[in-house]
Structure 1
Amino acid sequence: MGIPHMHHRSARRTARLRQIVVVCVICLAIYCFLLVPDESLDSSRSTNPEAYQSRARPQQQREGERHHALPPDLLSNRFLTEDQCRASFPGLLEQVDNEVAKGPFKLEPSPSSLGPLFARIRDGQLYILSAARKTDLSRDMLAHRSATLHQIANALLTWPRPASSLPSSPSPHIPDTIFAFNHHDDPLATTFSYSRPADPALLVTPSGEVKRFFPIPHFGFYSWPLPFIGSLPRAARAISQIESSLSFSDKIPRAVWRGTTWFNNPRAGRLRQNLVRAFGPGAPGADTRKWADIEALDWSSTGGDRNASNALRIEDFCRYKYIIHTEGVTYSGRFQFHNLCASVVLTPPVAWIQHVTHLLRPVFSYTLDPSAPDSLSSSPSSSRRNLLRSLLSPFLLSPKLEDKETKTPGLPRRPVELGGREKPPPLSPYPAPWMRSAWQTEHDPSEANIVFVAPDWSDLEATVAWLETHPRIAESIARRQRALFEDGGYLSPAAEMCYWRGLIRGWSEIVRVDEGAFGDLEEVTWEEFSLKEIHK
C-alpha cells in the first residue's frame, strides 16, 4: 500500500512542477512581448551592425550580411587557402562543419552494381574504384556523373600547396581518402549527394540512428548540356548583363514558371500540376489574370533538340519581378540559377537542402501583414514570434496547439480552382509541422531574401498582390538575394572550389574505411575513366 501511495504523490509533484514551469515560461514570454524594448529582441537591424555581428558564429561573420561586393579577381580565384575561403565566404562550409562535429562514421561498399560510385584520392590523384555501367545509365545520368567528377578533379588540381612543402613532394597537403558519390536525385546517406532532406525527422533512422548527409555543388557548375541552360558560370555572366541594364521597377510585373508537371515528390502531392491547372493557360480566370506567366514546357515539336518550344533561357527568368520555384522528386537544379537574379523567388518551403540552401532567409507568406506599410525598417514581430516559439516549443505537444499559439493575421488563403468539374482541394496545413522544424526562424520582410508561400498555392496570388503593393520591400528582398549569391560570391568559381576542398577535408577526417572491403576493386585513373565515359 505504501509504495503505490508514494508513486501517486510523486506523480502529483511532477504534474504540479510542470504547471509551475509552464506558468513561468508563459510569464517570461508575456514579458518579452510587452515589456522588453524592441532593440533587445532584434539585434539584426541595419542601424546596429556591430550588435548583429556579436551574435555571429565563433570566428565567423554571419552569412549574408556582407555590405559590399567581393572583387571579381577573388571570385574567380580557384586557388584560395582554407583560411581565405572561410574569411571570404562565411558560413559556406556550415553543413560540412556540422557533419564533422557529429564524429566518425563507417563507409560500407554498396551491394548493388547500380549503387553509388566509389573513388579514392591518393597523393592528390583521383582514382575510380567502382561505378555503374554506362549501359545502365541514361544520357543525362552519365552527363551528371561526369560533370561532378570533373569538379572533384578540378578541386584537387587547384588545391593550394603550403609554402612550407617541398616542390618535389607528392601532395601531402591533400588528404588520402575513399568516398562514395551518388549521382541520382534521391540523396543517400554517407555519400556525396546533390541535396539532403530539410525535415529533421528524415535525418534519422527508425531506430534513432543519425544519418550522415554531405550535399555537393550541382553538376551545373561544370556543365548542364540543355540548350536553355548551359552552365552556371555562363548563366551568371548572362544574368549580370541583364541585371546591369534592367532595374527592378522595369522588370515584367508577373510571376513566371516553366517546367515539367510530372516531377513531384509524393509528399508534395500534385504541386506542379495544380500550379499549372490553377494559374496556367486555360485555367479558370486565366484571361483576366495578368500577374501570372505560368506554363508547362511543351516538348511536342522539339524535333529531338531537347528544347521545349515555350522554354525560356535560364537568364531570361531574371527579366521578371517574381520567379516561382518548384522542387521536383527532390531538389530542383534550376534553383541556384534563380538565386543569381535580383528577383523575388516565391516557393513552398524548401524540402531539399543543397550545398548553399542553408543561407536562405525566408519570410513566410502567412506572416505578411496586409495593412503593413511599404517600409524597409525591421519589425520586432518576427523576433518576438521566434522567441515565443522557442520558449513554448517544449510544451506545445501538438501542431494544433502550436498553430493557436503562433497564429498571425497573414494573407488570405483560398482553395485553388482547378477547372472542369473537379472540386477545389481543401487547404493543406501551412506551415506543416515539418516546415516549422526545418525552417525554425521566421525572418522579417526587411531582412529576407526569399518568400515561402503555401504549398497548395492558396495564397500565391495574394502574395504577389502584396509584393506589388509593397514595391520597396519586394525590391529589397530581390536585391538581398543577388547581393548574397552573386556579389557575395557564394555561387562563384572560387566558392565552388572552396566548398569541394572543405568537403573532402572534412569527409576524410571522419570517414572510417575497412581497406580490405575495397581491396579487390581495380583502381582506374580519373583520366582514363573520363575518356571511357565519352567513348563507346
Structure 2
Amino acid sequence: MATHHMFQHQAFWKVVAALLVVCILVQQFGFSESPWPQHVASEFSGDTPKHKPPPSWRWHFDFRRDHNNYGLSDEQCDEAFPELYHEIDRAARQWRGRNITSESLELYGKNEAGVRVMLVDQQLRVLSTKGMHRQDFRQRILAVLHQIQRAITSVSGGVYPFDDMEFTIVVDDFVTLSPERNLALWSFARETANARQSDIWLIPDFNFWSAPPVAGSFSDMQARARAQDSPIADKIQKLLWRGVKWTAPKLRGALIDATAGRPWADVAAMDWRDPGKVVRLEDHCQYAYLVNTEGRSWSSRLLYILNCDSVPILHDMRWTAHYYHLLNGHDAEKANYVPVDREFSDLEAKISDLLDDPSHAQAIADNARQLFRERYTTPAATACYWRRLLRQWSSVAFTPEEYEEVAIDAHGGKRMRGVALEEFL
C-alpha cells in the first residue's frame, strides 16, 4: 500500500513538472513559428535586427566612418566617388581598339625607375624592377605595390574576381616615352600639352601610402592635419611656401621674388642647415594660405596642402595627376583653390582680396577640405580608384603568359614568371 502511494506521488509530480515546462515554453516562445526566444526578439526593432538596415535604408559615404574603409563594394565606390575616375576613363578610350602587347610595357631605357607586375589568379607577381638600388625609388616601388595589394585583398566577398593582367609602372617623376613605338605605361603624372603623353595611365602616387621620413604614412598625415584644424581667421595670416629651388628654378624663383619682403608672405627656399626655415608638413596647416609649385613635373606638395583646411593657391599647371580634374578655381560657389599665373604677378592682389574678405577665404578652404581630405583623397577613394583601374586596364590589355620556358634539364620545363609579391617584399 505504501508503495502504491509512493508511485501516485511520483506520477503527480511528473505531471506538475511537465505542466511547468509547458508554461515556460509558452511564455518564452508564445505561439510564434519562430524558433527564436522572446528575449532575443526583444533586441530587434519590429522584425528587423538592429545590426541590419531597414529595407528603405541606402548607404551613403560618411567620412568619419568610411575614410579608411579599403573594402567598399563597386556600388559603394560609385556612390561615394562618382567623379573620381576621369583619368581611367580617358586612358581606356585612348587605348580602346589599339593593340597593347608585351612590348608596349617595356620600361624604356631613359626611365630611371619602375616595376613590371603580373596579376594572375588574384595574386601579384613582380616580373622586373629598375632603380631599386636607390632608396627613394625603392620606397616608391614598395608603396605602389602595397597600394595595389591592399585594394585587391580588401574587397568583400562576392566581388567579381580580377582578370589576369600585366602592367608596368614608372615611379620617377615623369615618363620618358620611346620615339619608335607607343608605350602603355602607368605613372604618377602626365604633361597635358604633350599629346604623346595621352597614352599614359595615371595612378595614385607613392604619397598615398607613405613618404618617410618627412610625411610618414598617409593616414597618419591626415590625422595630424586634422589636429591643426581651425577657422581661417584664427590661422597665421600669411602665405607659406617651403621647397627646393633647383627642381624648377624659373618658376620657384618667380615665387620667391614676388614675395620678397612682403608682410603677408613666409616664403623661403629649403635649407636643412637652417632649422628656422624648416616647417613640418602638419605645421603648414597653421597658415591661412598655402601655395603650390610644380617641380620636375607634378608636385606631391599639393596633396598635403589639400589635406589642410587652409586656402590653396595654385599657379597654372602643366602637369596633371589622377585627381587634378577635381580642382576648381573659377566657380564662385564651388571654388576649392585660388588661381594665380605662373609668374605670380597677380599673387599680391589675390592675397589682398582674401585678407579683406575672410568669409570668402573660409568658403574656399571649406570646399577644398570637404572635397579632397574628406572624400577624394581618402584611403577609401584610393582603393576604389585602383580597383577600377585594374578592371578598365584588363578590358583593353592582353592576357599574360603565366609560365615561361626554362632549361631545367635536358627535357626543358616551365616555371611561373617573376616572384610572388610576398617573396619580393
TM-score range, shorter chain: 0.7 to 0.9
Residue 217 of structure 2 corresponds to 231
Q: Alpha carbons of 1:104 and 1:504: their partners in 2 closer, same or farther (altered >3 Å)? A: farther
Contact kept, 8 Å, 2:113 with 2:131, in 1: the verdict is: no
Pair 1:355 & 2:322 matched: yes
TM normalised by structure 2 equals: 0.76
**Distance in 1 between the 2:277 and 2:353 partners?**
28
TM normalised by structure 1 equals: 0.60
Residue-by-residue CA offset, 1:22-46 (whole Å, 9 max, x unaligned): xxxxxxxxxxxxxxxxxxxxxxxxx
Shift of residue 344 of structure 1?
1.2
SS of 2:239 mapped into structure 1: strand
Contact kept, 8 Å, 2:327 with 2:336, in 1: the verdict is: yes
Pair 1:481 & 2:376 matched: no
Pair 1:493 & 2:379 matched: yes
Residue in structure 1 matching 2:337, options 439, 450, 454:
450
**Distance in 2 between the 1:300 and 1:331 partners?**
26
Contact kept, 8 Å, 1:262 with 1:273, in 2: the verdict is: no
Residue 334 of structure 1 corresponds to 301
Pair 1:508 & 2:394 matched: yes
Q: How many residues align?
A: 345
Pair 1:248 & 2:242 matched: no
Structure 1: 4+ residue segments shifted above 4 A:
513-521
Contact kept, 8 Å, 1:445 with 1:477, in 2: the verdict is: no
Q: Alpha carbons of 1:111 and 1:328: their partners in 2 closer, same or farther (altered >3 Å)? A: closer
Pair 1:292 & 2:255 matched: no
**Distance in 2 between the 1:519 and 1:468 partners?**
68
Shift of residue 70 of structure 1?
2.1
Residue in structure 2 matching 1:141, options 126, 131, 137:
137
Residue 154 of structure 2 corresponds to 158
Residue type matched to 1:198 in 2?
T
Residue-by-residue CA offset, 1:121-168 (whole Å, 9 max, x unaligned): 001100011111533xx21111111111111111121133317xxxxx
Residue 110 of structure 1 corresponds to 107
Shift of residue 115 of structure 1?
5.9
Contact kept, 8 Å, 2:114 with 2:131, in 1: the verdict is: no
Larger radius of gyration: 2
Shift of residue 116 of structure 1?
3.5
Identity, % of aligned pairs?
32
Higher RCO structure, 1 or 2 (CA under 8 Å, sep 6+): 1
Residue 161 of structure 2 corresponds to 173
SS of 2:65 mapped into structure 1: helix
Residue 213 of structure 1 corresponds to 200
SS of 2:312 mapped into structure 1: strand
Q: Alpha carbons of 1:252 and 1:270: their partners in 2 closer, same or farther (altered >3 Å)? A: same
Contact kept, 8 Å, 2:118 with 2:400, in 1: the verdict is: no
Residue 10 of structure 2 corresponds to none
Residue 472 of structure 1 corresponds to 359
Shift of residue 518 of structure 1?
8.0
Q: Alpha carbons of 1:473 and 1:173: their partners in 2 closer, same or farther (altered >3 Å)? A: same
Residue in structure 2 matching 1:80, options 68, 72, 78:
72
Alignment gaps of 5+ in structure 2:
1-59, 177-182, 407-415
Residue type matched to 2:353 in 1?
W
Residue type matched to 2:266 in 1?
D
Contact kept, 8 Å, 2:258 with 2:345, in 1: the verdict is: no
**Distance in 1 between the 2:188 and 2:404 partners?**
24
Residue 252 of structure 2 corresponds to 272
Residue 174 of structure 2 corresponds to 186
